[in-house]
């Protein structure tokens, strides 16, 4: 099995020499090595059609760069959003894999990309969720993929985001919320988005169940 996965751009200010790079975190490599699944990194709009043809599904990862609010009809208040338009790549990938009925998993900013791609919007800034090495509880909805994974109503997850879904895209079901009412997961058909980072939690069960259910 092959899964396309988005690489993300960052500027490493303290590093001498190569200060701009695209990356995938080691967490993803470790998990999918254990699952015996090959990851095909994507960081350009070139040859996307070929990538879609050879891949069975898509992972949209989190990002340090916010989606430019122009994509959901709001003013851009942060010049950092103009460094590189990662959402343009996300959007094209999501549309291609969706049109070909291939599973899509969005993680953190990846869930936000899915929501905006299908017509939803975001809160541009929230408080209390961009926390290093801290966890908070979320409530899972029954009859959802997440409930199938954990078989309980409440789990504890990590939190590394300052934006969140505001208006949910049409057709998507909200399947988890935090106790302060932030949307933590959405689902539609064979698309799942989660706001936390299961890869950093080394939650291989989450990824195993996603593969079992949708492939």
Determine the pLDDT at residue 78.
Answer: 67
Task: Verify whether residue 199 is a known catalytic residue.
Answer: yes
Helix (H, G, I), strand (E, B) or coil at 169: coil
**From the candidates 52, 86, 184, 199, which is the catalytic residue?**
199
Query: Lowest mean pLDDT: which of 12-21, 22-31, 138-147?
Result: 12-21
Mean pLDDT score, 130-153: 91
Question: What pLDDT digit, counting tens, does each position of 143-173 carry?
Answer: 999 999 999 999 999 988 889 999 999 999 9
Determine the pLDDT at residue 182.
Answer: 94
State the pairing for strand pair 104-107/57-60.
parallel
Determine the pLDDT at residue 160.
Answer: 84
Q: Is the pLDDT of residue 79 over 70?
A: no
Q: What residue segments make up the domains of the chain, in order of their start?
A: 2-214
Task: Verify whether residue 86 is a known catalytic residue.
Answer: no
Residue 210 sits at the vertex; the CA angle it makes with 204 and 215, to the nearest 5 degrees, is 130
Q: Output the CA torsion sign for 68, 113, 162, 198.
A: negative
Token pair, residue 201, equals: 């939690």
Q: What is the pTM of this model?
A: 0.94
State the pairing for strand pair 38-42/20-23.
unpaired
Q: What would the CATH number be for the domain defined by 2-214?
A: 3.40.50.880
**From the candidates 55, 108, 184, 187, which is the catalytic residue?**
108
Looking at the chain, list the stretches that DSSP marks H as alpha helix, in order from N- to C-terminal side: 26-35, 48-54, 86-99, 109-117, 145-150, 204-214
Task: Verify whether residue 108 is a known catalytic residue.
Answer: yes
The values of phi and psi at residue 178, to 5°, are -80, 170
- Distance in angstroms (rounded) separating the CA atoms of residues 185 and 187: 7
**From the candidates 55, 86, 129, 197, which is the catalytic residue?**
197
Q: Is the pLDDT of residue 133 over 90?
A: no
């Amino acid at each position: 099995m092959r899964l396309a996965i988005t690489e993300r751009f960052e500027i490493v200010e303290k590093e001498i020499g190569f200060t701009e790079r695209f990356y995938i975190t080691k967490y993803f490599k470790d998990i999918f090595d254990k699952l015996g699944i090959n990851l095909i990194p994507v960081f350009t709009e070139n040859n996307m059609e070929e990538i879609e043809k050879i891949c069975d599904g898509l992972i949209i990862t989190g990002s340090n760069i916010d989606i430019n609010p122009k994509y959901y009809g709001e003013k851009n208040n942060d010049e950092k959003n103009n460094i590189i338009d990662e959402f343009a790549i996300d959007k094209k990938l999501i549309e291609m894999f969706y049109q070909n009925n291939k599973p899509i998993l969005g993680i953190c900013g990846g869930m936000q990309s899915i929501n905006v791609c299908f017509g939803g919007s975001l809160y541009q800034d929230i408080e209390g969720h961009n926390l290093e090495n801290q966890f908070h509880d979320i409530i899972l909805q029954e009859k959802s993929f997440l409930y199938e994974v954990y078989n309980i109503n409440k789990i504890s997850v990590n939190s590394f985001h300052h934006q969140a879904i505001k208006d949910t895209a049409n057709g998507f079901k909200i399947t988890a919320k935090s106790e302060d009412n932030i949307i933590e997961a959405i689902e539609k058909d064979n698309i799942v988005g989660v706001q936390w980072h299961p890869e950093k939690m080394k939650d291989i069960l989450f990824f195993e169940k996603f593969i079992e259910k949708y492939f």
